[in-house]
Structures are given as structure tokens and as C-alpha cells.
Amino acid sequence: EEDLIRTEILPTLTEKIELALAQVKRELVLVVDYVPGTPLKVSLSRKRNIADVLPDAVEIKPNLEVEHTEKKKGGKKVVTNPRTRLRITMPDGSIIEERTAWESLHKFVLKVGVDKVRAVGLIANKIPLVNNTEDKKYQTAQKPLGNGWFLMTCSDTATKRKQILTIASYIGMKINVDII
């Protein structure tokens, strides 16, 4: 549902009310109260920090779309290295070792928590490692994490290893990551 809100409802709302709000000269917060089966309620709040009034309020902003340059076709064929995997030894001794490196990264992110990983702020191929919008160029490399979040997996195994180590360091977790 968050994905639907983020990709369809928020852009539509923004488009519809932005022109009308351009006439307003002061800051305001609009609160949309939606309960299925009842009329929609839209309220005005003069409070800028809505979290003070509604402690469980969540602001969902779509990530900005990124421009990518196109590679010229017909160049030299790139030789890829043999497929490698990751073995992640967690502090409790449990091991994450999936069939592919991206699956190990995916499982690690889910185990640590999507919010914690997103807070690290890692960027991969010009977009956040954990992103809430599908990128046109990399949509096949973005793997769903649930609740409208996607994990960028378009990188080599060594880069995924560095990403995992950076995340672990940021949250104060002692782990071991081996390329196998």
C-alpha cells in the first residue's frame, strides 16, 4: 500500500493542489484523513512539525528521478569475472550465505532492517542503495524489500561486500564478510 501511495496517490495530489497552493503566502500543513467507506476529510494545521501533534505521522516523499547517460553500443565486449558469492558471519555466529551475492546482501538488509540501512545513505549508480522509487534504467536490478522499498543490486561482489561492511560499521555491528 505504501508503494501505491508513493507512486500514484502522492504525485496526483501534488499535481492537483500545487497550483492552487501557489496563491497562499504562509506555511501550512494539510492533513488528509482517509478511512475506507467514509467521506474524505482534509484539515488545515498551522503547526509546522506535525509529528508533535501526531506522534505516529510518517512523511513519505518519493525519491527524485536520476538522469543516466547512455553508453554507446558496439564497443569492446566486457569480459566478466567468474560468479562469486558472499558469506556474512553475524555477531551471534549465524551465517548468511545465499546462492548469489545480491541475495546475501538482500537477506542482510532485511535482517538488519531497511530503515537502519536507508539511514546510512549509501548511493549506488547515482540512486540510493535503498530507494522508494523504481529507476527506469536499473529497475531490473532493484530488488523489492517490501513496503515499497527497493534494493539496488547492480554492482560487483566486491562493492556489495564494501556496502555491507559500511552498513555494519555505521550501526556498530561487528561482522565478517568473505567473498567465496
Same domain, 131 and 174: yes
66 within domain boundaries: no
Does the pLDDT of residue 68 top 80, yes or no? no
Of the pLDDT bands very low, low, confident and very high (cuts 50, 70, 90), residue 57 is low
Q: What per-residue confidence (pLDDT) applies to 20?
A: 74
CATH value at residue 144: 1.20.1380
Greatest Cα-to-Cα distance within the chain, rounded to the nearest angstrom: 61
Angle at 159 between CA 180 and CA 82, to 5 degrees: 45
Same domain, 39 and 120: no
Q: What per-residue confidence (pLDDT) applies to 49?
A: 66
14 within domain boundaries: yes
Same domain, 106 and 148: yes
3-state secondary structure of 124: strand
Same domain, 49 and 92: no
Q: How many CB atoms lie within 10 A of CB 156?
A: 13
Q: How many domains does the chain have?
A: 2
Q: What per-residue confidence (pLDDT) applies to 12?
A: 74
Same domain, 48 and 90: no
> Is the whole model's pTM more than 0.75, yes or no?
no
Does the pLDDT of residue 53 top 80, yes or no? no
Q: Is 73 exposed, middle or buried (0-12, 13-18, 19+ CB in 10 A)?
A: exposed
Q: Please write the tens of the pLDDT for every residue from 128-174.
A: 999 988 888 999 999 999 888 999 999 999 999 999 999 999 999 99
79 within domain boundaries: no
Which residue shows C-alpha cell 528521478?
65
Looking at every residue in the chain, the average pLDDT score rounds to: 84
Same domain, 161 and 100: yes
107 within domain boundaries: yes
Same domain, 100 and 167: yes
77 within domain boundaries: no
Distance CA 173, CA 92 (A): 10
73 within domain boundaries: no
Q: What per-residue confidence (pLDDT) applies to 85?
A: 95
Instruction: Note down the domain range covering 121.
Output: 86-179
Distance CA 132, CA 2 (A): 9
